[in-house]
Structure 1
Amino acid sequence: MNAMTQDSCSSEEQRAERLTLMGQPPRNRRERLRKSAWIGVWLVFLSSPVHDLVSGNHTTGGTVAGWFGLAAFVGLYLALVFRNMGRPYGRRLVGCLILLLAALAVLLCLTLGPAWLGLFCYVSVSCGIILPLQLAYWAIPATGGVMLLVGLHGGEGEAGNLLLLVLLIGYAMTGVGQLIRTTIELRKARATVAQLAANEERLRLARDLHDLLGHSLSLITLKSELAGRMLPAHPDKAAQQVADIEQVSRQALVDVREAVTGYRRPRLAAELAGTQVALTAAGVTAELPAEPDLTGISEDSEAALAWALREAVTNVVRHSGAQRCTVELLRRQTLDGPILELSVEDNGSGGSGKAPGNGLTGLSERLEKAGGTLEAGRTKHGFRLVARVSAPAAADVGSAS
């Protein structure tokens, strides 16, 4: 079963690769030969003009002129077919080449006879595969009409027999041309999606590095300052601060390694414990909740709340100058359903008062991906950050399990 699935996936990938190459210049000799063979099959309609030239129905001058005219016609047709190889032709030049191809077909048919009416098939193919769809719908029947007029001038019924073929092959080529144009657009869209995915990955990496290192580096800076102030009078306490710095730096290194090897999902309980340490070291009185109840909370939602707590505490330590910080974790019932709400409030200055920084912007994006919301702003006595995620009721969790 697995082998069949792998074979199916492989065939789908090969089909997608072939479609991707449609409308694209050949990249190597093999693709060039394959495309040339596909185009060469359609030269079968030249059998009638070639037979007319070798049958001796014309004078020597007429035969030589016919060979030159046929070579010029085939050269123009191939130039149109291979128009995207090298430097692509402009629209005006392509239109002039199609008109010249049609004029050469008319001239050869009028001078050499009805055996050359098959050339109009190539004119119809060129109109169908090259011209825009709306213009091709008019150019193909116009090609058939010109062929009928030329055939009536020769007094033969050959034109009537070829009319249906000219129309059918022309309109069939409009489908091929539309498929090629759609494939080219899909290839461009796929490249755009890949670029957007790369940009999103770079943004995620920048956000993770900020969230991972901002907290740890702020704590290291704070403890380094404390150790520097304690060093002359209290070397034992300074040594303890240096030991804490070593522990925090080692943990930061572990966090960075985990972030590089895979997406790191912080746990809310661990972040609450780290919050206690960080606030105490900064001389901020901390009021923290007990062990959080995370029943029914998804891993993405818990990780988003943990990042929010880390960023909020980092801002309290670095920017607020607060003496007190209160962290609350509550379940609430709203009109949109039950939610789990994390609130971090301090009595500090609230930062610089400028636009939200990279940390808050990254938090907002994380919570949006987890289906949550973020509110942050100054209050009457400090600054407050509130992060909310959906929290299924206990009954819903029980029924789901």
Structure 2
Amino acid sequence: MSGIGVTIGQRPTNLRQRAVKALWTAVWLVYLSAPVSDLLHGGHPAGVRALGWLGLAVFVTWYMLLVFRAGRVDRPAPVLGSLGVLAAQSALLALTLGREWLVLFVYVSIASGAALPSRLSRWTVPGACALMTAVAFAVPDGRGLLWGLLVPAALGGFAMTGVRELIRTTVALREARATVARLAANEERLRLARDLHDLLGHSLSVITLKSELAGRMLPDHPDRAARQVADIEQVSRQALVDVREAVTGYRRLRLAGELDGARVALRAAGVVPALPDPAGLGDAPEDAESALAWALREAVTNVVRHSGARRCTVDVVRRQTLDGPVLELSVEDDGTGGSSSIPGNGLRGLGERLAAVGGTLDAGPVRHGFRLTARVPVETAAEPGRKGGAA
């Protein structure tokens, strides 16, 4: 049925849909039975009847074109001209053939409501009714039909104005819905890209470092190399689990778990870690803690990859600011911070992640290394412990 029906606000896209719309439009031509009856039984001369049939055919064709293409004309001037021709033709036929032809003004009113914007149709519909009234007073016995035609003309014209606005609103809503769906898809792709970067970047860095370490140990210390290989297997398995969770949208990092992972990664890279005790971190809102956990993972990954540091210090503290309490994570190393001054994809993604929970990110060189500071607002959080000694 989707190939046959035409919903409101949707233009026909194939021949069958055009035929259905034309049929529905033509149904309302049944009210032209009065002019047809007048041509058949009105006693007009043959020449007059022929001209009457021709005028009626031209009127119906012009009317169908206007109504069928309602909403497709960008410029109203040609539509106004066409409606003027219809109105003049209706007046001429009514004045020459009789009062039965006054019904044509009802179709003029409906066509103006269907084909013109509401700012114009609110004037053209009353104008068509006024013209019909003037012609009815000029046609013999026209007053008898006037009151029976004025109401359908006014109601039909303004009803079509409402239908046109409904179509316009429906089209706008459909376009807005498509835009929202497209933006949601883009946001989801960005989230997945950010998660995969953070997850795989950290895990692959640890795997690379441990692989290099195992390669150096293998000739002289095969037992220690075997332990490194076992760690590689464990990290790779955890990375696979993390990726699956990220893809399904349930990835929630915990700060305590990331501190343990940071300790392993830093030691594997030959960096002395100075980390807080995970047991003393206290409670924090889930979103805030997850955002800081991602910040810690990205910071440690950058230390391992780029810094060339010998020591890395991590602090997690709760501070009171003018905007309310915040949970602050700082990661500082004594390395060079890398050769590029342009933030990478990881830091850009991290900034977006923190901004989503109302947090902020500061990252840059300090006197003896590089520091990353991430802050997230918290409603209630126990005072976390200060950094512990190097573990």
TM over 0.5: yes
For 1:185 and 1:214, the matched residues in 2 are separated by: 43
1:93–1:26 Cα change, 3 Å:
same
Correspondence list, 1:137-216, <5 A: 137-155=122-140, 156-157=142-143, 160-161=146-147, 162-216=149-203
CA distance 1:62–1:26, shift in 2 (3 Å) = same
Structure 2: distance between partners of 1:242 and 1:217: 14
Q: Deviations over 1:237-258 (max 9, x none)?
A: 3333222222221221121122
2:53 aligned to which of 59, 67, 85:
67
Change (3 A) 1:84 1:114: closer
* Closer, same or farther: CA 141–293 of 1 in aligned 2, 3 Å: farther
Question: Are 2:323 and 1:340 equivalent residues in the alignment?
Answer: no
State how far apart, in whole Å, the 1-side matches of 2:204 and 2:320 are. Answer: 38
Amino acid at match of 1:68: L
Q: Could you tell me whether the CA contact under 8 Å between 2:21 and 2:68 is conserved in 1?
A: no
Aligned counterparts of 2:292 and 2:43: Cα–Cα separation in 1: 90
Cα offset for 1:60? 2.4
For residue 376 of structure 1, report the CA deviation from its aligned partner. 1.5
Relative to structure 2, which stretch is displaced further, 201-210 or 158-167? 158-167
Partner of 1:228: 215
Equivalenced residue count is 374
Equivalent position of 2:228 in the other structure: 241
CA 58–343 in structure 1, closer or farther in 2 if over 3 Å, else same: same
Rounded to whole Å, the distance in 2 between the matches of 1:150 and 1:116 is 10
SS in 1 for 2:320: strand
Q: Does the C-alpha gap of structure 1 residues 222 and 295 become closer, same or farther in structure 2, counting only changes over 3 Å? A: closer
The structure-2 alpha-carbon separation of the partners of 1:84 and 1:146, relative to structure 1 and needing over 3 Å to count, comes to: closer
CA distance in 1, matches of 2:228, 2:80: 80
Instruction: Please list every run of 5 or more consecutive structure 1 residues that lacks an aligned counterpart in the other structure.
Output: 1-19, 396-401
TM-superposition CA deviations, 1:277-333 (whole Å, max 9, x none): 000000001000012556552222221111111001000000111111111111111
Q: Residues 180-231 of structure 1, C-alpha deviation per residue, up to 9 Å, x if partnerless? A: 1111111111111111111111111111110110101111122222233333
- Residue of structure 1 equivalent to 2:105: 120
Q: Report the Cα offset of residue 96 of structure 1.
A: 4.5
SS at match of 2:284: coil
5 Å matches for 1:7-86?
Answer: 21-26=7-12, 35=21, 38-83=24-69
Task: Name the TM-score, length of structure 2 as normaliser.
Answer: 0.86
SS at match of 2:175: helix
Q: What are the superposed Cα offsets for residues 44-98 of structure 1, whole Å, 9 maximum, x if unpaired?
A: 432321222232331223223323322322222222222269xx55536544543
Q: Distance in 2 between matches of 1:378 and 1:77?
A: 75
Partner of 1:105: 90
Contact 2:284 2:380 (C-alpha < 8 Å) held by counterparts = no
Match of 1:259 among 236, 246, 253: 246
Change (3 A) 1:100 1:224: farther
Q: Which has the higher contact order (CA 8 A, sep 6+)?
A: 2
Using a 3 Å threshold, how does the CA distance of structure 1 residues 187 and 394 change in structure 2: closer, same or farther? closer
Q: SS where residue 220 of structure 1 aligns?
A: helix
Tell me the SS of whatever aligns to 1:22: coil
Amino acid in structure 2 at the alignment position of 1:342:
L
The farther-off stretch of 307-316 and 337-346 is 337-346
Q: After the TM superposition, which parts of structure 1 deviate over 6 Å for at least 4 consecutive aligned residues?
A: 27-34
3-state secondary structure, aligned to 2:342: coil
Kept in 1: contact 2:361–2:372 (CA 8 A): yes
Number of the residue aligned with 1:13: none
Could you tell me how far 1:35 is from its partner in structure 2? 4.8
TM-score, normalized by length of structure 1?
A: 0.84
Aligned pair 1:313/2:300, yes or no? yes
Contact 2:22 2:68 in 1 (8 A): no
On the 8 A contact 1:327/1:342 being kept in 2, the answer is: yes
Unmatched segments (≥5 aa) in structure 2: 1-5, 383-391
Q: Deviations over 1:351-371 (max 9, x none)?
A: 234322111111111112222
Change (3 A) 1:59 1:296: farther
